[in-house]
Structure 1
């Protein structure tokens, strides 16, 4: 087996073990499909998230961090790490899209008018925490798309150079 592939399998296994340890210490069980929930209390709002969704997000964040750091460490010269980084980055963009839609659906902006009652005076609404938080995932998504573009370009150049070098040696 190729040493590069063996090293990637070891990194992948280390990431999975780390994810399962963090999941176990947060939820208290390794039964992924159980009816367990994670309770998040933000000021006066109480969110109940199924533990499976927490596991998916935890997996995305761990793999994204590990493989993005490894891509920068290898200066985009390892094709396998670049492919894994491209895939995980794509899933992160999709997850941030869902987060943006959730925040936007719960946001109350300054110009929002709340109906009913129509007979009462206009009530000036204060912007809630979701209105202030709305721009953070949008900026993060723009950063992820730019990282995805740079990573795809560097991977394409690397593959093209390897094909060109292999055709010269024939």
Structure 2
């Protein structure tokens, strides 16, 4: 059982590395590499390690979500990896929320038009809602994991 779980874990990790390699190339494995994204008038520069972390967390989240749902919450290792991936996504979303709120506070509301300020507020509220739903779902998975473990421990 442990060998199968290690194969799934390292398979997902290697898939994440392949996606990262496909999206960013071989230069992304240097220490000071960055990912540059140009969207309209804004130029985003993101560290490759942050991009890889977000990509890996999302990939682990979806792979282990499917594994967990297919096993009906009975695979202890899949549940734990899913909860860890969910916690990492919650941390990423929390930092995104604080970044969006700080961007709203830096600029004076009079210099921003009302639509931009409203859009940032809406995006921040949506991320808070998604964050709360992820925490609730991770709590539910933890409850189901404990319930299944308790039932398996007492059954002969």
Query: Normalized against structure 1, the TM-score is what?
Result: 0.80
The question of 1:107 aligning with 2:107 is answered: no
Equivalent pairs counted in the alignment come to: 152
Query: Tell me, what secondary structure is at the counterpart of 1:150?
Result: helix
After TM superposition, where is structure 1 displaced by more than 4 Å over at least 4 residues in a row? none
Q: Provide closer, same or farther for how the CA distance between residues 74 and 126 of structure 1 changes in structure 2, counting only shifts above 3 A.
A: same
Counterpart for residue 143 of structure 2: 153
1:41-82 CA-to-partner distances (Å, cap 9, x unmatched) read 233221100111101111111111101111111110111111
Q: Cα RMSD (Å) of the superposition?
A: 2.0
Residue 115 of structure 2 is aligned to residue 127 of structure 1: yes
Structure 2 partner of 1:32: 29
Counterpart Cα distance in 2 of 1:79 and 1:41: 42
Deviation, structure 1 residue 124? 7.2
Structure 1 portions without partners, runs of 5+: 115-122
SS of structure 2 residue aligned to 1:107: helix
Pair member with larger Rg? 1
Question: How far, CA to CA, are the matches of 1:78 and 1:150 in structure 2?
Answer: 15
Structure 1 residues 132-141 or 50-59, which shifts more? 132-141
1:110-137 CA distance string (max 9 Å, x none): xx644xxxxxxxx673232433322221
- Counterpart in the other structure of 1:8: 5
Q: Within 5 A, what are the aligned runs for 1:14-25? A: 14-25=11-22
Q: For residue 45 of structure 2, what is the aligned residue in structure 1?
A: 48
Contact 1:33 1:52 in 2 (8 A): no
TM-score (norm 2): 0.87
Query: In the alignment, what sits opposite 2:80?
Result: 83
Structure 2 unaligned runs (5+)? Answer: none
Higher relative contact order (CA 8 A, sep 6+): 2
CA separation of 1:151 and 1:8: change in aligned 2, threshold 3 A: same
